[in-house]
Amino acid sequence: MKLCILDNDFLDPAVAPTYVGYGAMFERLLRQAGADGTFDIFNTVKGEYPASFDPYDAVLLTGSKADSFSQEPWVLTLKDKVQALLKSRKKLVGVCFGHQLIALCLGAKVGRAPQGWGAGRMRYQWLAPELAPGREEVALLASHQDQVFALPSGTRLLATSDFCPVAAFGVDGQVFCVQAHPEFVEDYSAFLLNKRRTMFGEERYQAFTQSLAKGHEGLAVARMMVAFVNA
């Protein structure tokens, strides 16, 4: 596997020494899921991109604190790159911000979710049994206030919930996108929750935090990603 990871954020300095960045978090997770080969990480906020995407089997877009529909120059540059990648039929994996940006490039509407923040451990109905035989549900760690409002034309719904109807979608052989964060670990989620404790209010903060003790299935989703890239 030769994977290009477009890291779309910087971590808080308090946790950067531990987790490095979202690109590094994904590399660790995907290797745990059985991936081997080369992982090249580029930070799009700094304007970093490979000279060519041609050598890569797939491109993975990480999450970000930025909005996918932002008019920030670096987001617009990334959007242009993604549109070109879609046109060339390069395999794309998108997570959170990446999931939303790919949906946006496919013509879907993305924006602030009227139901507010999704955070902590969240459960989704899994709709693609051929990707995970016997699986009817997946639990993942989430952190988002934006959502994809409608399934992009020409794509398939892979996961859904009442809170996040378009929780994952795909295009056979080309796109695999998920709103929640398979790369997160409980301690990192707890750090993010604590940063927003006042905003959430104590009752919601406690509920989100307590949900982390139930664990999540990020590794199972990572195995699906590895299979997608290797197919």
* CA separation for the pair 192, 115 (Å, rounded): 19
The SS3 assignment for 56 reads coil
96 carries an active-site annotation:
yes
4 carries an active-site annotation:
no
**Catalytic one of 4, 99, 164, 183:** 183
**Catalytic one of 99, 144, 181, 216:** 181
**Catalytic one of 4, 96, 105, 164:** 96
Six-digit token pair at 105?
């490039």
The SS3 assignment for 217 reads coil
144 carries an active-site annotation:
no
* CA separation for the pair 117, 109 (Å, rounded): 18
The SS3 assignment for 67 reads coil
Six-digit token pair at 110?
């993305």
The catalytic residues are 96, 181, 183
